[in-house]
Structure 1
């Protein structure tokens, strides 16, 4: 009978010195690689044992979301629970915020209940940085307006790395509503630090001049860049953040920028098709492409849990814990790793 492979070794990285995860702009290439490596190791350990890890047993993570979320909120909760942490779920609807309590006072109240980390999403850029200045616990940015969404950028990069081995030297295009996209900003910072060539593509009304200052290539013609692209990340149009419609009609946008079967034939045979979600079928992507063999959209969702496990562990974990500790039954008669 063949022996069951041992879970991968887990050791707290000595080079990690951060208390918060607020953006990718301030992280080094080494920091980003540390997060990606930890995500893969933690995911492999969870799959190998089939049980919760006890790495954050006794810790509490609070989700403070002031904007709607499905993937990010649920995956942060699942990530915390897979690490053995407790979670507190906050919704601004029906809370004291509706009675006039300030954002900072709300966060301080939650912290006073004994939480170790706050995961926050807010429509205003810079809110996670503001919290980090006022709270003693760790703060993780789950999206602050159009500014950044660091864990989304990390999970996108992890998905590329898993499929291509490395990000360095790849051409990655972000297509769609660039101006209002926090996902685009985090992807740009992370991809460039790891050596990718980044193109932003979309209508001129949705790409401001500032993007060129970030060292990316700007294009308004998807068909012209497709043959060069190794990866396409298709961003939805965020009508909720726009005062006026940026193009005549959704149909016209789809004709110019939707990834469809015809454009797939113009692309590299092994192109990766990504989308941070929620996707609008028939607008930025057609069903046959979203569900096709080059699509890694569901892999992105799966990697979201892994990346958020890594972020929570690196911010809250015990750097002095012995290597390989962490299965839920480590002290209950199970076989030690």
Structure 2
């Protein structure tokens, strides 16, 4: 494979297949490291990773912080409520303050789309050499979540050699609030790049027809299908990913009620009978139990990969920080 040279990871739209495989193989190595008694490696010793999280997060922030510490990096954590933002400081000035402290890698999450890109552009203008990793911006993308989802699926298919080609012609259903989901947008790039069939299912108010063309005009042949009913998406599916209803982002009456949504699109054990017998269930979290998915499905260790997604997140984020840190040096 070519050597990694990508300084920033802001979107998966321009990722090459070999880059996905590089991340999958690197994450698999780190997964082995995390199974040891001594879980630290000195790979990023002396480097500083700053987590700039401008909106609340549990899984992503904790996962990045642990990943950096497992690589022996020093970490700085930003909390907007106790920062100089409350005194009128701009986001770019905040980023430059951390740059002056010696930051090498910035992990950025913001409720507005484009903030990580703006900070990356400023870091490049200053010729700082700092790498920027998008940890979720508005309704744009969430690359590391999609990469850990990809790794979770591929490791399920082959624990020793997870790679992109394992997903060729597999059927993956993504169900839920796709309109507001940055996770879905990133997953559309990564999963269709693998050759998988991706079927989206949601009410029309949460799944505009425009998503049918979301990944078009790329060199790869991508298979993306849109459904406004659940049954055709689940039919013979190998994996089902359900998404949280992001009520905090909904500006209108997009759903009659949560009860009606569950009746039509909630993932239940009965509905999963339409899938392949060994179907696996995923959810990026946090989960609204009894709305997007029933508790008996979510907690079934034979069916649910939700805990594996969280575990995979540390290994994948270690891989990203390692590759970006190596590109910097």
Assess same fold via TM > 0.5. Answer: yes
Q: How do 1:2-13 residues align onto structure 2 when only pairs under 5 Å count?
A: none
RMSD, aligned CA: 1.4
Q: Deviations over 1:254-302 (max 9, x none)?
A: 0011111211223211111000000110000000000112100000000
**What SS class does the counterpart of residue 75 from structure 2 fall into?**
strand
**What SS class does the counterpart of residue 261 from structure 1 fall into?**
coil
TM-score by length of 2: 0.91
Question: What residue number does 1:289 align with?
Answer: 297
**What SS class does the counterpart of residue 191 from structure 1 fall into?**
helix
Residues 63 and 73, structure 1, Cα contact 8 Å, conserved in 2 = yes
2:142 aligned with 1:149, yes or no? yes
Question: What residue number does 2:320 align with?
Answer: 311
Structure 1 residue 319 displacement after superposition: 9.2
TM-score by length of 1: 0.89
Larger radius of gyration: 1
2:178 aligned with 1:178, yes or no? yes
Structure 1 residue 14 displacement after superposition: 4.5
Runs (4+) off by over 6 Å: none
2:245 aligned with 1:237, yes or no? yes
- The 3 A distance-change label for structure 1 pair 318 and 32 is closer
Structure 1 residue 164 displacement after superposition: 1.9
**What SS class does the counterpart of residue 233 from structure 1 fall into?**
strand
Gaps of 5+ in 1: 1-12, 321-337
Q: How do 1:70-149 residues align onto structure 2 when only pairs under 5 Å count?
A: 70-135=58-123, 136=128, 137-149=130-142
Question: What residue number does 1:211 align with?
Answer: 211
Structure 1 residue 318 displacement after superposition: 7.3
Number of aligned residue pairs? 308
Residues 46 and 53, structure 1, Cα contact 8 Å, conserved in 2 = no
Distance 1:203 1:285 in 2: 16
Question: What residue number does 2:254 align with?
Answer: 246
Gaps of 5+ in 2: 159-165, 216-223
**What SS class does the counterpart of residue 173 from structure 2 fall into?**
strand
Structure 1 residue 208 displacement after superposition: 1.6
Residues 6 and 327, structure 2, Cα contact 8 Å, conserved in 1 = no
**What SS class does the counterpart of residue 298 from structure 1 fall into?**
helix
Structure 1 residue 130 displacement after superposition: 0.9
